[in-house]
Amino acid sequence: MSTLREATELRVLIRSAAAGDDAVAEAISRLGPARVAATLVDEMVSRADLGEVGPLPGPVTVRFDLDFDGRTLAHSVSFKEGRVRHGDAGPDAARPVLVELELVALARAVFGGPMAPHALCRRIDWGDVDDPREFMVGVAAAPVVQRLLRGAAGEPARLDELALVNGSDKWGPHFYTPIYERHFAPLREQELTIVELGIGGYAHPGSGGGSLRMWKRYFPRALVYGVDMFDKSAAAEQRVFPIQGDLSDPDFVGGLAGRLGPLDIVIDDGSHACADVILAFHALFPALRPGGLYVIEDLQTSYWPSYGGNATNLHDASTSMGFLKQLLDGLNYEEHDGAGSSRPTRFDSMLVGAHFYHNIAVLEKGRNADGPMPGFVRQRPVTQVGRADRREVTA
C-alpha cells in the first residue's frame, strides 16, 4: 500500500479537489495515480466504521476499479473477522464485489467538500446473481460496500459518537464534545491545519491518539498534528502526524508555529500545568489565522497547587484562569480611560472573542480594532445628562 502521507502532498490533493476536475486531474498526474487511488480508498476505509458491521458468514473483499486517463487502477479492501486490510487482495481473498468509479470524481467526493459539485457515478458488480453461492457473497458484502461508499458521500457524524468510536475522553470523563460542535461545526468542511497538544496514553507508545482520529474524521479536509513529550509515532496515519517534543521547553514550543503554521485550530490538552498552558498560548495563538480558534481544556488545574494553580488568589496571573481573565479586559482596551491606559498589549488587538464553560475555554483570533465610543458619550454618566442633552446624545 502506498498512500500520500506527506502533509504537502495531501494538501495539494485536498486543495485541488475543491478547485475543479482539471485541477484534480493535474494533481493526480503529478502525485501519481496509484498513490492517489490508495489514498482515497484509505480515506474511505477510515470513515466506514467497519467495526460496527455485524457478524458475516465469511470474509468479504471489495475491489475498486478506478478509471483515470484511459487506465484502470485496481485497489482491494478485505474485511475478515473484524480486521481490515487494503491494497492487493492476496491469493486467499474471497471473490470480490467489483465497484467501478472515476478517480477524478472520487477525489472530488472525498476531499472536495459540499461546495464542490461532483457526480459520483458508480457501477457495482455483485457477481453471478443466478449462482446461489455467488449471490450469498454479494448479500454478505452489501453492508461493507455501503459503508465504504458512505465514506465518499461525506455523511456527517456526531462528534460525541466519534469520540466514543475512536476512544477519545472528550465525551465521557469530560463532556466537551457539545461545546466543540457548537464552535467547530461552521469550519467542518474547510481546508484546515489543526494542532492538538497532548496525544494521550502517557509513556505507553501504543496508547493515545483517539482525539486525533476523531478530529480527522470530523474534519474531512484537515491535516491533524498531535504533539506529545512521548514517542507516539504509532498514532500516525493518513492526515494524522504525531510530533514528539517537550511542551515545557520554550525553544520547542516557540518553533512549532514556524514548523506547522499558519494554524486554524489549536487545542491544548497537554500537561495542564499552568506555566505550560501560558507558554503555549504565547507561542501559538499569534500563529492562528484570522477566524482561528484556540481551545484550552481542563482549566480546573488553575486551582490546584500541584499544577501551579491557586485557589486562594483567583486573579493570580501565573495561573491559567488568572492569565485568561487578564485577556478579557483587553477585549475592551479601546475603552480604557486614563492617559496611556488604552495602549494595547500583545494580545489586545488580536483577541476578538472568548467563551468559557466548565473547565474549558474557546478563544477567537481576529482583529480587535473597532474603535472606541465617541469621547462625548463617556464624559459623564447618562443619569447626569439633562433631558435636552440626552436627546442630543441619542440623536
In contact, 75 and 66? CB cutoff 8 Å:
yes
How many whole angstroms separate alpha carbon 128 and alpha carbon 134? 6
Determine whether 75 is an active site residue.
Answer: no
| Active-site entry in 75, 174, 272, 358 | 272
In contact, 166 and 235? CB cutoff 8 Å:
no
Cell of 95: 471473490
State how beta strands 222-228 and 240-244 pair: parallel
Cell of 244: 514528539
For 274, other C-beta atoms within 10 Å of its C-beta total 25
Quick one: which of 260, 222, 248, 173 has its CA closest to 10? 222
How many whole angstroms separate alpha carbon 172 and alpha carbon 211? 13
Query: Which residues touch 60 (CB under 8 Å, ≥6 apart)?
Result: 78, 79, 80, 94, 97, 137, 140, 141, 144
How many whole angstroms separate alpha carbon 140 and alpha carbon 144? 8
* Helix, strand, coil shares, percent, the chain, to 5: 40, 20, 35
Long-range contacts of 275-282 (CB under 8 A, 24+ apart): 275/248, 275/308, 275/318, 276/247, 276/248, 277/320, 277/323, 278/318, 278/320, 278/323, 279/247, 279/248, 279/250, 279/253, 280/197, 280/247, 280/253, 281/323
Cell of 220: 474531512
Q: Which residues sit opposite 192 in a β-bridge?
A: 222
Kindly write down the DSSP assignment for every residue of 52-120, as one continuous string: GS---SS-EEEEEEEEETTEEEEEEEEEETTEEEEES--TTPPPPEEEEEEHHHHHHHHHS-TTS----
Active site residues: 272
